[in-house]
Amino acid sequence: MTASGSRISYTEAIVEALRLEMYRDSSVVLLGEAGAAPELAELFGSDRVVAGIAPAAPVVLAAAGAAGEGRRPVCEISPAGPGPLDHIAELGALRLANGGGSAPVTLCLRFGGALADGGAAGRDPGAWLVGAPGVKVVEPVTPADAKGLVTAAIRDPEPVCVLEHTSCLDSVGVVPEGGHIVEIGRARLAREGERLTLVTHGAAVALCERAAAEIDLDADILDLRSLQPLDLDGVLASVHKTGKLLIVEPTPSAARITAELIAGIWEQAFEHLDAPPRRVRVDDSELADPAAQAEAIMEASLELVDY
């Protein structure tokens, strides 16, 4: 225990968020394959925790039905294909087509590492989700953000997908007590500097922090946290300060995010740029060499700083 919270793991932070929200709101129900479901079933019973549903696609369909009956369902799944992601995208589109009514479904989606064997959805679920209308997508990388974003997702009236990369699950950090909430759509300043803005998300955040530490890089490192919507205002504020932008893409789908950020920079911060924006693509798979990935970030960062 610290003055500001407790040191717990990423996984424990998610369970804590679910437990507190289920105590706070009796309409919150949990559907899923594993994860927090067995632990919470002992507290809340089988009427509010339904574990062991497989495959994943019926879980999302069941959640959509529960939301239509006034519940706030949370789904815990690991993708074995795009099926469940298609269903959540369809739910968002249907919500907009019906005039923007409430559809409070939270999808906690674990991916990366061994789960990537499940196919493209296991490697990069953002490829299906980012760009889907009516769906919010967040990707916490710290335990505090895991708790805060899951809490925010459950309380949100729209469908929210919480992406949980397997590389983050065992990380430990200080997590605020009580109903901690992180606003969806706000980036996190992971490191502060003056000469470069480095924007990334997911597993690439640790690579960027490693690169910055090794060369004592004088840079802002922005962890987007929210992939849809993006915190363009936060990126613009940093670029106004530093004049230079490097975007580090951890997955193929991040190219869509890069395109949106670059468009916003050219439209609203062109006169503040001292160098052309750049991007670096890294591999966040368990087979990649972290040292080599960090080296690529270091090289691009130094070239921009010296431009």
| Secondary structure of the chain in HEC code, one letter for each residue | CCCCCEEEEHHHHHHHHHHHHHHHCCCEEEEECCCCHHHHHHHHCCCCEEECCCCHHHHHHHHHHHHHCCCEEEEEECCCCCHHHHHHHHHHHHHHHCCCCCCCCEEEEEECHHHHHHCHHHHCCHHHHCCCCCCEEECCCCHHHHHHHHHHHHHCCCCEEEEEEHHHCCCEEEECCCCCCCCCCCCEEEECCCCEEEEECCCHHHHHHHHHHHHCCCEEEEECCEEECCCHHHHHHHHHHHCCEEEEECCCCHHHHHHHHHHHHHHHCHHHCCCCCEEEECCCCCCCCHHHHHHHHHHHHHHHHCC
Task: Give the confidence band of 261 by pLDDT, cuts at 50, 70, 90.
Answer: very high
Q: Quick one: average pLDDT of 123-139?
A: 85
Give the per-residue pLDDT at 27.
96
Q: Let me know whether 62 and 27 are in one domain.
A: yes
Q: Could you tell me which residue, 94 or 127, shows the higher pLDDT?
A: 127
Task: Give the confidence band of 59 by pLDDT, cuts at 50, 70, 90.
Answer: confident
Task: Give the confidence band of 118 by pLDDT, cuts at 50, 70, 90.
Answer: very low
Give the per-residue pLDDT at 97.
59
Give the per-residue pLDDT at 266.
92
- What end-to-end distance do the CA atoms of the chain give, in Å? 46
Does residue 65 lie in a domain region? yes
Q: What is the CATH number of the domain that holds 16?
A: 3.40.50.970
Lowest mean pLDDT among 97-101, 129-133, 187-191, 235-239: 97-101
Q: State the sign of the Cα–Cα–Cα–Cα dihedral 20, 26, 27, 33.
A: positive
Give the per-residue pLDDT at 42.
85
Q: Is the confidence at residue 77, as pLDDT, over 90?
A: no
Does residue 298 lie in a domain region? yes
What is the rounded average pLDDT for all residues in the chain? Answer: 86
Does residue 183 lie in a domain region? no
Q: Let me know whether 167 and 192 are in one domain.
A: no
Q: Let me know whether 134 and 251 are in one domain.
A: no
Q: Let me know whether 197 and 150 are in one domain.
A: no
Q: Is the confidence at residue 164, as pLDDT, over 70?
A: yes
Q: Is the confidence at residue 73, as pLDDT, over 90?
A: yes
Give pTM, 2 decimals: 0.91
Q: Let me know whether 165 and 216 are in one domain.
A: no
Give the per-residue pLDDT at 117.
47
Q: Let me know whether 226 and 287 are in one domain.
A: yes
Q: Let me know whether 127 and 216 are in one domain.
A: no
Neighbours of 246 (CB within 10 A): 24
Q: Quick one: average pLDDT of 115-123?
A: 51
Q: Let me know whether 160 and 229 are in one domain.
A: no
Lowest mean pLDDT among 7-11, 75-79, 132-136, 140-144: 75-79
Does residue 1 lie in a domain region? no
Q: Let me know whether 78 and 133 are in one domain.
A: yes
Does residue 244 lie in a domain region? yes
Provide the token pair at 80. 């074995």
Q: Could you tell me the CA-to-CA distances from 110 to 31, 115, 135, 175 in Å, in that order?
A: 14, 8, 17, 20
Q: Quick one: average pLDDT of 60-74?
A: 86
Q: What range does the domain containing 199 cover?
A: 188-305
Task: Give the confidence band of 39 by pLDDT, cuts at 50, 70, 90.
Answer: confident
Q: Let me know whether 171 and 195 are in one domain.
A: no
Lowest mean pLDDT among 76-80, 170-174, 245-249: 76-80
Q: Let me know whether 168 and 237 are in one domain.
A: no
Give the per-residue pLDDT at 79.
60
Q: Could you tell me which residue, 49 or 124, shows the higher pLDDT?
A: 49
Provide the token pair at 267. 């439209």
Does residue 182 lie in a domain region? no
Question: Pick from 116, 141, 175: which residue ends a domain?
Answer: 175
Question: Pick from 175, 198, 213: which residue ends a domain?
Answer: 175
Task: Give the confidence band of 54 by pLDDT, cuts at 50, 70, 90.
Answer: low
Task: Give the confidence band of 112 by pLDDT, cuts at 50, 70, 90.
Answer: confident
Q: Which residue has the tokens 């990334």?
A: 200
Q: What is the CATH number of the domain that holds 220?
A: 3.40.50.920
Q: Is the confidence at residue 11, as pLDDT, over 90?
A: yes
Q: Let me know whether 106 and 129 are in one domain.
A: yes
Domain total of the chain? 2
